[in-house]
Structure 1
Amino acid sequence: MTNFIPLFPLELVPFPGEKLNLHIFEPRYKQLIGDCVAQGKPFGIIAVINNKLMEYGTLMQVAEVKKLYEDGRMDIATRATEVFRVLELVKDLPDKLYSGAIVTYPQNEIVVNMPALQPVLRQIQELLLMLQSPKAFPKPDNELCSYDVASMTGLSMEEAYDLLQLLREDQRIEYLRRHMQKVLPVVKEMELLKSKIKLNGHFRELKSLGFEEE
């Protein structure tokens, strides 16, 4: 299936199912969101990486306008629904400040595969414990898929975009597993460094070495 959607370029990669709060203040995007709310239509967030507009993005539905300011700014709650791929950019729209695109929706496997995902969940729990973070999984474990936990793994923009292009659950789980295998040793080393700093008064003032400053 192909159709036209308005585009909202951001340095951000939402995953299907993710809830995202946005503050809308630029005139073109106030118009874009206003049109989407009035017509009950979705819009697309497409990643901008190194000042380049990428090919894949995420379809977003406006769930609620939380606050509408007198000058037209808005606080909105949105939900990501599915992955799209841009076929053709449409930069000039009649009477519109924003751009759009003709997009297609590639077949994307979104399933629960707990046996494969369980090792990744353990790695994430270990990471959260080291970071002393109270963040919990958004669903019961037996309902989770890779998209539900990807934002808890510390992916860079480039890595998140790589994950967005993977359209099978087993591929995404393997990507996250390998990512966590790289991240955990780094965090453990930083935790060891923090403990050494605390034990040595000479280094106590070198706060920039602490993990939370990174």
Structure 2
Amino acid sequence: MTNFISIFPLGVVVYPGEQLNLHVFEPRYKQLVAACIAEQKPFGIPVVINKKIMEYGTLVQIKKVEKMYDTGEMDIVTVGDRVFRILEQVTEIPGKLYTGAIVNYPDNNEGSHLRLLKEVLHGVRELHAILQIHKSFKKEDTALLSYDLAHHAGLSLDEEYELLHLFYEAQRLEYLKRHLHKVIPMMAEMERLKERVLLNGHFRNLSTDNL
């Protein structure tokens, strides 16, 4: 399927199924959102990296207008729908301040891979334990997808974008698994280093028994 969509480029990666709350304040995007609400249409959020609009993004549906301000600014609740690929940017739309794009929607395989999912989930929880943070997911463990875990795995924006255009669930989980295997030892070492720094200047019980 190929079609035209209005676009709202942002320096974030939105995954299918993810809720994104937006405060809309720029005139062009106030106009875009107002048009989408009136016409009950979705819009696209292509990823911006280093001030460049990337090839892939996510179509989002407006689920709720949380607040409307006298200035025309809005707080809206959106949910990621599906990943699109930009075929052509449309920089001028008659009578509109915002831009658009001709896009298509790559086939996306979300089949479950429970063994891989279990490994990735274990890694995410191990990382969170090292960082002393607690996050809970709104689904049962077995119902989770890579998209539910990606923002919780310590990926950079570039890495989150790379995962966005992997179109098989097994590929995405494998990507997260490799990332966690790399980052967990690094974070554990940083925590040990922090402990050593904090010990500096403290009275310590030392022994020469092992000499």
TM-score (norm 1): 0.92
Alignment of 1:1-214 (within 5 A): 1-201=1-201
Whole-angstrom distance in 2 between the partners of 1:47 and 1:169 = 20
Measured after TM superposition, the shift of residue 166 of structure 1 is 0.4
Q: How high is the sequence identity, in percent, across the aligned residues?
A: 55
Measured after TM superposition, the shift of residue 111 of structure 1 is 2.6
CA contact (8 A) 1:9 1:46 kept: yes
Aligned residue identity for 2:72? G
Whole-angstrom distance in 2 between the partners of 1:117 and 1:57 = 24
- The number of residues matched between the two structures is 202
Higher CA-based Rg: 2
Aligned residue identity for 2:123? Q
Measured after TM superposition, the shift of residue 94 of structure 1 is 1.1
Whole-angstrom distance in 2 between the partners of 1:181 and 1:54 = 28
Structure 1 stretches of 4+ moved >4 Å: none
Measured after TM superposition, the shift of residue 193 of structure 1 is 1.5
Aligned residue identity for 2:34? G
Please list the CA deviations of residues 62-110 of structure 1 after superposition, one character each: whole Å capped at 9, or x if unmatched.
Answer: 1101011000111111100100001111111111000001110010011
Aligned residue identity for 2:75? D
Aligned-partner SS, 1:151? helix
Whole-angstrom distance in 1 between the partners of 2:180 and 2:152 = 10
TM-score (norm 2): 0.93
Measured after TM superposition, the shift of residue 113 of structure 1 is 1.8
Aligned residue identity for 1:124? V
Whole-angstrom distance in 1 between the partners of 2:137 and 2:177 = 17
Aligned residue identity for 1:144? L
Whole-angstrom distance in 2 between the partners of 1:105 and 1:186 = 37
Measured after TM superposition, the shift of residue 138 of structure 1 is 2.9
Structure 2, unmatched stretches of 5+, are 203-211
Structure 1, unmatched stretches of 5+, are 203-214
